Amino acid sequence: MHQWIICADLKMVCFLLGQQRGYTKYPCFSCLYDSSACEKHWVQSDWPPRSDLKPGDPNILHQPLVGTKNIIFPPLHIKLGLMKQFVKTLSIERDCFKHLISAFPSLSFEKLKGRCV
């Protein structure tokens, strides 16, 4: 296993850790979050941690190239995700949303209506 420090998005992290791609039952590399247990998604917040990533474990197909401790998530993706959630919660009638409209005059009406600021 390489000792590289990797900054990558989730798709690349799954590739580097040998995980199965696409829609999987256990998509998280650090815990056994069950994506098919819809009744637990908003109720359960603590999921059992993954002890090891070895082929044959749930959704692990290949030997990992790097360790999970060597993965850094890209700050830009995190900031954009937080801002997207913030803008979705704004009321259209409030001054802060109107300020965003004036700050980005090139946005189309459909994007403003769909909150894709």
Other beta carbons within 10 angstroms of residue 99's beta carbon come to 11
Q: Mention every residue, 6+ apart, whose C-beta is less than 8 A from residue 12.
A: 6
- Please say if the pLDDT value at position 36 is more than 70: yes
For the chain, the domains span 1-73, 74-116
pTM for the predicted model, two decimal places? 0.57
- Please say if the pLDDT value at position 75 is more than 70: yes
pLDDT of residue 112: 65
- Please say if the pLDDT value at position 87 is more than 70: yes
Q: Name the pLDDT band for 115 (thresholds 50, 70, 90).
A: low
Of residues 52 and 116, more confidently modeled = 52
